[in-house]
């Protein structure tokens, strides 16, 4: 096993190369940064798949307080109000910073930013880049900046499997590459930017790497968690075979697409004042209910005008690849695990309960999203939170630690052949609609198999949180206690 310790200042180790990790790394200059990711080519983050945009109150007639109200309403007012207000105030500056990094947001013929509308928003305030390819545009621009940054060393193809603790403080990581070689990297600070848990479900919009590995690493070390029960299900993924399903962006409904049942009747009629643009938890439960009842659900986007190859290139390509044409036929849809509102408990500065350990982006929970995230607040939080954390770490004075060290191990992974069964278990018991007995039975399965791999232990913790919250709130719907559809 190699040990890497550079003379002079120890590096900030950032685990995860999505938008949150890259924003943190860039903002940490001039402090040295080691940016680590599991994929050999640096890909695989959920950021690159994000079809939604950045929510920001920039249009005339809109305002920060309106953005705050919509965020709180979508989050079932379980949000930390101070965190929400900070995020919404930071949104315009975040868009400007991204433009300075080379992100080309979509503009209209008049040269002004184009604004879209998505579920839960009372105004047109979503900026996109490349139509429905905003996440990919952000990743492309920030990756170019990171690769050119002299203070950042990007390490690909390594998995962080253990945290080094000295005097109770996190002081480094141990990584392993695909060939099994281990390396110790001592650090001034360790930042988790590892994304969410969607890949633990049978059907998800997330890539395979969004499996909760960073959250499990923090939990093994004793870091406090928050709101683990709140998992958002996107209501409109293409209902085709597979694990990671193509997403049909909410912006389609903002542009005029409608949700319909097997008879072509409006699916959301009479259920919410915002109709098809109701918050995601409401729409996801309705689509889930329609599918459970055997009738199915569809997204009818045939009325949308304009060039799909410009407005919705990602959706068009995915649909055509499955033999479907959204311009000529309704699309079969299903909810999918999409975003985890819970995670490592942090403040706005990214500090966890363990000194030296920080978290940012989807793996973190600072209360900004409440019980259900408002559409297009995720990329916003990833960038704004990463910039804030990186700037704080850039001027922080590392604390010298000379005490006895110990390793906190995440533990062995669940054998690959067992993962489909775990995913199906969570999909059935911990989906958009939950029932107490099913949660109990699933928890017992995970408890009995906890020694089989860290994924089982993480699933056990998720199910425990879902069992403990006995009343419905936001994305957590308990049908045994009554759940408004």
- Length in residues, the chain: 485
The first and second tokens of residue 407, run together, are: 């390793």
144-173 b/e (C-beta count within 10 Å ≥ 16 → b)? ebbeebebbebbebbbbbbbbbbeeebbbb
Rg (CA), the chain: 22
Distance, CA of 398 to CA of 443 (rounded, Å): 41
**Whether residue 280 lies in the annotated active site:** yes
Q: Which of 280, 373, 410, 423 is catalytic?
A: 280
Kindly give, in sequence order, each residue whose CB lies less than 8 Å from that of residue 266, ignoring residues fewer than 6 positions away. 258, 259, 260, 275, 276
Backbone angles phi, psi at 138, to 5 degrees: -65, -45
Closest by alpha carbon to 368, among 337, 391, 339, 336? Answer: 339
Which three-class secondary structure string do you get for the chain?
Answer: CEEECCCCCCCEEEECCCHHHHHHHHHCCCCCEEEECCCCCCCCCHHHHCCCCEECCCCCCCCHHHHHHHHHHHCCCCCCHHHHHHHHHHHHHHHHHHHHCCCCCCECCCCCECCECCCCCCCCCEECCCCCCHHHHHHHHHHHHHHHCCCEEEECCEEEEEEEEECCEEEEEEEEECCCCEEEEECCEEEECCCCCHHHCCCECCCCCCCCHHHHHHHHCCCCEECCCCEEEEEEEECCCCCECCECCCHHHHCCCEEECCCCCECCCCCCCCHHHCCHHHHHHHHHHHHHCCCCCEEECCCCCCCHHHHCHHHHHHHHHCCCCCCCCCEEEEEEEEEECCEEECCCCCECCCCCEEECHHHEECCCCCCCCCCCCHHHHHHHHHHHHHHHHHCCCCCCCCCCEEEEECCCCCCHHHHHHHHHHHHHHCCCCECHHHHHHHHHHHHHCHHHCHHHHHHHHHHHHHHHCCCCECCECEHHHCCCC
| Catalytically active residues, by annotation | 280
């Amino acid at each position: 096993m190699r040990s890497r310790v550079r003379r002079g200042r120890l590096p900030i180790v950032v685990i995860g190369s999505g938008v949150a990790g890259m924003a943190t790394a860039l903002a940490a200059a001039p402090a040295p940064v080691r940016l680590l990711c599991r994929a050999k080519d640096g890909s695989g983050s959920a950021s690159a798949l994000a079809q939604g945009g950045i929510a920001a109150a920039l249009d005339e007639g809109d305002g920060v307080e309106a953005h705050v109200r919509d965020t709180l309403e979508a989050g079932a007012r379980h949000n930390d109000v101070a965190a929400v207000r900070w995020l919404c105030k930071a949104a315009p500056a975040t868009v400007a910073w991204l433009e300075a990094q080379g992100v080309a947001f979509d503009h209209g013929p008049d040269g002004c930013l184009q604004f879209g509308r998505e579920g839960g928003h009372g105004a047109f305030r979503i900026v996109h880049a490349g139509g429905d390819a905003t996440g990919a545009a952000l990743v492309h621009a920030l990756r170019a900046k990171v690769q050119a940054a002299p203070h950042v060393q990007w390490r690909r193809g390594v998995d962080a499997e253990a945290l080094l603790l000295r005097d109770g403080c996190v002081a480094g990581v141990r990584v392993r590459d695909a060939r099994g070689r281990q390396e110790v990297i001592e650090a001034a600070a360790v930042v988790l930017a590892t994304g969410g848990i969607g890949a633990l479900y049978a059907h998800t919009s997330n890539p395979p790497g969004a499996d909760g590995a960073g959250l499990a690493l923090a939990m093994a070390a004793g870091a406090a968690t928050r709101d683990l029960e709140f998992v958002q299900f996107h209501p409109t993924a293409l209902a085709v075979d597979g694990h990671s399903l193509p997403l049909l962006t909410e912006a389609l409904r903002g542009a005029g697409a409608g949700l319909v049942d097997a008879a072509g009747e409006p699916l959301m009629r009479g259920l919410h004042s915002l109709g098809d643009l109701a918050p995601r938890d409401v729409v996801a439960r309705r689509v889930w209910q329609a599918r459970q009842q055997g009738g199915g659900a569809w997204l009818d986007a045939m009325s949308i005008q304009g060039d799909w190859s410009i407005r919705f290139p990602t959706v068009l390509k995915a649909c055509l690849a499955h033999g479907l044409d959204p311009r000529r036929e309704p699309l079969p849809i299903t909810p999918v695990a999409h975003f985890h509102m819970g995670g490592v408990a942090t403040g706005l500065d990214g500090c966890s309960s363990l000194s030296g350990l920080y978290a940012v982006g989807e793996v973190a929970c600072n209360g900004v999203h409440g019980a259900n995230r408002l559409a297009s607040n995720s990329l916003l939080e990833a960038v704004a939170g990463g910039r804030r954390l990186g700037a704080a770490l850039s001027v922080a004075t590392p604390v010298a630690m000379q005490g006895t060290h110990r390793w906190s191990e995440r533990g062995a992974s669940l054998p690959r052949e067992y993962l489909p069964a775990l995913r199906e278990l969570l999909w059935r018991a911990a989906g958009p609609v939950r029932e107490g007995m099913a949660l109990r039975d699933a928890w017992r399965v995970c408890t009995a198999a906890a020694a089989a791999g860290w994924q089982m232990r993480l699933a056990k913790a998720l199910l425990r949180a879902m069992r403990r919250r006995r009343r419905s709130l936001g994305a957590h719907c308990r049908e045994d206690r009554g759940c408004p559809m």
